[in-house]
Amino acid sequence: MTSAGDLLMRWASELGGGKVADLRAGVLRTARGRGLTLRDGADGRWIRDMSALGHLDVDWRRGVWSAAPSVLTRLPFSDGLALITGRRTAALERAVDQAAEEWAVVLPVTNETAAGDIPVPVSLLLQYDSPEELPGRAEALGCAYAPCAALQAFSLLPDLEPGPPAAPPAPGNAQTVEKYDPAKRCYVPADAYSEEGLYRWRGADWSRLVQIRRDGGFLSTEHEYGVYLELERTRTGTIRWQPETAVGRERVGTLFVDWGAPLPPLHARAAVLCTGLQPRFSSVAETVRYDNVPRAAAERLARSLRQELEIHHPNPTAIGKAN
């Protein structure tokens, strides 16, 4: 029986794109039709997860989405493993099945799903002998080929900047204003909004507006970017990296990001594409873990978010800072 995640993947791939509101409605309708019990916001988290996995391109500000092109790409520092990402139409699935019968070892890996969330599709990993064979394999599958989409994504990460000047809350929206509390890692009701900080409120059309206050005025931003602007203002570090212990793997490791400071969509995609799998969540450490991330890539990600990357060594007495 096809899983809900794979069914939704096929539906979104064949649909191709549209309004985010319609995608949310379709996702919820399909998930509930499969008997899933969902937490509030499950539809939005599913869309963000699909974006991080490279399957969907989402413009939240404009409220539109599209299925990303199908791509075959190598995983960084993972000799012999490539990832198939992007839209997964019936034609692509037939090509993958045929390849698995004739010339490829295809590894479908199930992603973990938290209780109350909507499953994402399996990740498709393909084994190969030589990188030189991959462009031809991609053509046979009907995919584009990218040597390493993850490293390319890291190189293209934008540097963190607030947006243009924006209007303050209208008098009628004052009761809905909330301010982000970095210590609590959430928004709390705001009695006023004259202090510097990250704020959100309901707009005239009941959409959620997120803006940051600096030097007496408001600037446009989005939640994830606004959080990191606040972390910079309060000089709070939230990103760490730990190298692997295997000989020859010291340049690759695990990227840790604290709860309450989610990576912006492009940053999350770069980190996820290092494995092609969902990150791991630790309720004990309250962190999100991204595996197989090269140190240089982690440093680039941290710099783009105005963070100083902390380097944690397996020996807890040897913890230092990145240079």
Which pLDDT score is estimated for 315?
Answer: 64
Using the structure block, give the residue that is written with the tokens 């498709």.
Answer: 124
Give the residue from 123, 148, 173 where a domain finishes.
148
Q: What angle do CA 256, 261, 262 make, to 5 degrees?
A: 80
Q: Is residue 16 part of a domain?
A: yes
Determine phi and psi for 306, rounding to 5 degrees. 60, 35
The range of the structural domain enclosing residue 295 comes to 239-321
Q: Are residues 139 and 86 in the same domain?
A: yes
Q: Are residues 141 and 96 in the same domain?
A: yes
Q: Is residue 155 part of a domain?
A: no
Q: Are residues 75 and 129 in the same domain?
A: yes
Q: Is residue 159 part of a domain?
A: no
Q: Are residues 206 and 250 in the same domain?
A: no
Q: Are residues 205 and 142 in the same domain?
A: no
204 pLDDT higher than 70: no
Q: Is residue 209 part of a domain?
A: yes
pLDDT digits over 288-323, tens only?
Answer: 999 999 999 999 999 999 999 999 887 654 444 444
Which pLDDT score is estimated for 205?
Answer: 64
Quote the CA–CA distance of 163 and 220 in Å, as a whole number: 5
Q: Are residues 213 and 277 in the same domain?
A: no
SS (H, E, C) 108-145: EECCCCCCCCCCCCCEEEEECCCHHHHHHHHHHHCCEE
Sheet containing 144-146: order of strands: 105-109, 123-127, 81-85, 71-74, 144-146
Q: Are residues 107 and 170 in the same domain?
A: no
Give the residue from 67, 92, 114 where a domain finishes.
67
**H helices, E strands: number in the chain:** 9, 20
Give the residue from 148, 176, 205 where a domain finishes.
148
156 pLDDT higher than 50: yes
Q: Are residues 182 and 245 in the same domain?
A: no
Which pLDDT score is estimated for 256?
Answer: 97
Percent of the chain past pLDDT 90, that is, above it, reads 80
Q: Are residues 244 and 308 in the same domain?
A: yes
The structural domain count of the chain equals 4
Q: Is residue 174 part of a domain?
A: yes
Q: Is residue 231 part of a domain?
A: no
Q: Are residues 62 and 77 in the same domain?
A: no
21 pLDDT higher than 80: yes
Q: Is residue 171 part of a domain?
A: yes
Q: Is residue 229 part of a domain?
A: no
Q: What is the CATH number of the domain that holds 34?
A: 1.10.10
